[in-house]
Amino acid sequence: MRLGHDHRLDLFDTALRPGLKRDIDGNVLLDWKHYDAVAEPYLKGSAFDDRLPVGAWPSPVDETWPDPRNYGGTSNPAYAATVQDVVKAVTAHFAELGAQAMVFHWPARGAVSQEQYDIFSRLGSLIKQGDPQAAILSTLSPALPDEAGIKMPDDVLKIANMLAPAVQWSDLAAPVEQAGGPLSGRWFAPGVVPFGPSLGLAADPADPRALAWMTMKYGCKGLLLNEVLNWRGNVFDTVADAQTRLFYPGKAAGAEGILPSVRLKRLRRGLQDLSYLMLLRQHGRDDLAHNMLNSLVRYAGADARGDNYQDARLNGWVQDGRVWEHARAILIEEVENVINPSELSKRQLLQRRLAWDELYRQATTVRVEQVRTNVSLLEDGRFNASVMLDLYNELASPADVQIAVAAAPPGWNFSKHGSRIAQLEPLTSGVIALELRGSEAPSTHSGKFSMPLSIGIDGNEPVTMDAWMPLLVSSPLRKPVVIDGSLDDWPIRTGNSAGDFVLVGRRGRQGNGLAARQTQAFVLHDSDNLYIAFRCFEPNPAGVISLNDNRLRYEQLMLVAEDAVEILLDPGASAKGVEDLHHMVIKPNGVTIMRRGIACQPPLGKVEPWPAAVTVATSHSVDQWTAEIAIPLKSLGEAATQRLWRVNFARFSTQGGESSSWVPNARHFYDPRNLGTMILPPP
């Protein structure tokens, strides 16, 4: 507790309980002797050298205490009466200690689920009846997307006056009722990266620091860390759940006492930064604090959502530690100037201006978040390609953005050579579209065209980047191939090969982003079937994992836990949403799962069976495994007769944890807009 206090964290024990018994008349009696022996020094500050009490402390009332099993369940009147009596006794006791303003109730403490919402609604209502002025914390979001499949109680906001859902569920910019005491309002709670910064071992070193800054950016009352002292198992043996371990037992490392983690030190560094920002605000320089915050932390929570509620945009905060140190140096100078103002020379003013300019140069730009292409067929048989770039302006001022295709692919020309957004407002997104027309498909093994783009911002020297247009032409067959796991009978054709699979969703991926374990996909067709084959290069075949079940395991819109390849089909390019996609997963052992829609958890929407008499075969060799599939076209409906399809091919490799995709998606591929194009000529 003292070590946490020294690092600006107020710790509390969520398992601490007073004794609960009844007198001869059946009235609730709470025995606080042992509880107060632990809690009172922290509530009054006598446990700390600075004599400052903790800022917040949980009441002992939650879903496990009083234990509903002892009263016939949560719906039993005896349980309701007991909870209300206990809440009244708890309120009176903390008032006697002079600590009532820092105490809050935390009814439901588990992960997001229907059960937890029901518990919160029931127990929260009882607490409210026992103490109408109580501070009640909800770590469950008051608003979930319909796709999450949870029936939301309509009283969450009526009960809770402290909101701290995990960042992936939190709309941090939504207004919150502040009535109900000093603890009421929104609190920042870490969760899934990159919806917000992380305290995990695998996170960037800047994350703990950015966590503190996000708290101020969104006007939160504070930072809630669900657990920081998880010593279950061997705490030095695994990175799993490391975000719940900010302290370590010194004895295990040959030292006395308790050791703070490096992540805790970094978090304290961020909390110290906030002191400088607060001083600027207190001295009337909110403009400086605002510019500094927006330069280093941009978005989190619902603001970080992309195509859907599970798709998190990347780069919500600066990850370069050198930029953070540069920002701190500027903060110190600005605080010194507002506390001890003095007239600055022209040279000093110039130096300060240059320091800010350098910070903006290092931390902000107009960023291309993702590139999508949409290819259609013209009446004359040529292709028309729309290239759409999602932009985000990190700058502190409106940006004039101009983008042009520096060179068209062979056989293509511009129908819309360049495009411009004259006023892209600060901290906002925009879309620029370019159009090309051509008659040739890629003849390379990758099935992708490279298009160098020139990006100019505010008239400055343009920068270049490569955009990719994925386009396949399936080859018609006169004779069906044999589905046996061997590709020896597959004819060599031009334009029907998809390669150069790119890593998906990796923060800060370097270079060209290609997966280390590469994959090649091939497409053929005849009048009855679509044939797809995968060649998955694998230097260690013995390490391939495939479970003999039809379950799929997902994390952040990516398959995990076992090796597999995925096929996404949108025949006729007519899908309106993820529910319209045909999705197939093949494991190295041949187990095949087929659905209409994506059966990830939490769900993205409705999922239905895809009944199809597919033929699948897999094989393994010294450096690769192969999957071969025949899909009856009739199983795809009338749309399968169309020439234009939207498709993608993907792979997850457990060795290296690589999720890779043919279409170079920045974040995920479960969206019709994120697919590539495939043409099926008449057989």
Q: What is the mean pLDDT of the chain?
A: 92
Q: Which helix (H) or strand (E) holds 141?
A: none
Tokens 């110290």: give the residue.
Answer: 272
Paired sense of beta strands 676-679 and 463-473, if any: parallel
Q: How would residue 378 be classed by pLDDT, with cut points 50, 70 and 90?
A: very high
Q: Which helix (H) or strand (E) holds 320?
A: none
- Name the amino acid, one letter, at 248: Y
Query: What pLDDT shows up at residue 610?
Result: 96
Residues 520-545: tens digit of each pLDDT: 999 999 999 999 999 999 999 999 99
Residues 302-345: tens digit of each pLDDT: 999 999 999 999 889 999 999 999 999 999 999 999 999 888 88
Task: Kindly list the domain boundaries of the chain, sorted by start residue.
Answer: 1-160, 474-683
More confident of the two residues 346 and 646:
646
Residues 268-301: tens digit of each pLDDT: 999 999 999 999 999 999 999 999 999 999 999 9
**Whether pLDDT at 203 is above 50:** yes
- Residues 210/296, Cβ–Cβ less than 8 Å: yes
Q: How would residue 257 be classed by pLDDT, with cut points 50, 70 and 90?
A: confident
As a whole-number percent, the residues of the chain with pLDDT over 90 amount to 75
Q: How would residue 238 be classed by pLDDT, with cut points 50, 70 and 90?
A: low
Query: What pLDDT shows up at residue 240?
Result: 57
The residues, ordered by sequence, that sit 6+ positions from 197 with a Cβ below 8 Å of its Cβ are 190, 203, 206, 207, 208, 209, 210, 211, 214, 300, 317
The residues, ordered by sequence, that sit 6+ positions from 341 with a Cβ below 8 Å of its Cβ are none
Query: What pLDDT shows up at residue 508?
Result: 45
Query: What pLDDT shows up at residue 159?
Result: 93
Cα(440)–Cα(473) distance, rounded to whole angstroms?
A: 10
Residues 468-505: tens digit of each pLDDT: 999 999 999 999 999 999 999 999 898 999 999 999 97
Q: Burial level of 257, CB count in 10 A (0-12/13-18/19+)?
A: exposed
Query: What pLDDT shows up at residue 345?
Result: 86
Query: What pLDDT shows up at residue 51?
Result: 93
Tokens 């770590």: give the residue.
Answer: 139
Instruction: Quote the tokens at residue 269.
Output: 């560094």
**Whether pLDDT at 458 is above 70:** yes
Query: What pLDDT shows up at residue 512?
Result: 75
Task: Specify whether domain 474-683 bears CATH 2.60.40.1190.
Answer: yes
Q: How would residue 237 be classed by pLDDT, with cut points 50, 70 and 90?
A: low
182-217 burial, b if ≥16 CB within 10 A, otherwise e?
ebbbbbbbbbbbbbbbbbbeebbebbbbbbbbbbbb
Angle at 261 between CA 255 and CA 262, to 5 degrees: 120
Tokens 């608003």: give the residue.
Answer: 143
Q: In angstroms, how far is CA 375 from the centroid of its own chain?
A: 29
Q: How far apart are the first and last CA of the chain?
A: 73
Task: Verify cis geometry, omega within 30 degrees of 0, for the bond prior to 208.
Answer: no
Cα(43)–Cα(92) distance, rounded to whole angstroms?
A: 15
Q: Burial level of 383, CB count in 10 A (0-12/13-18/19+)?
A: buried
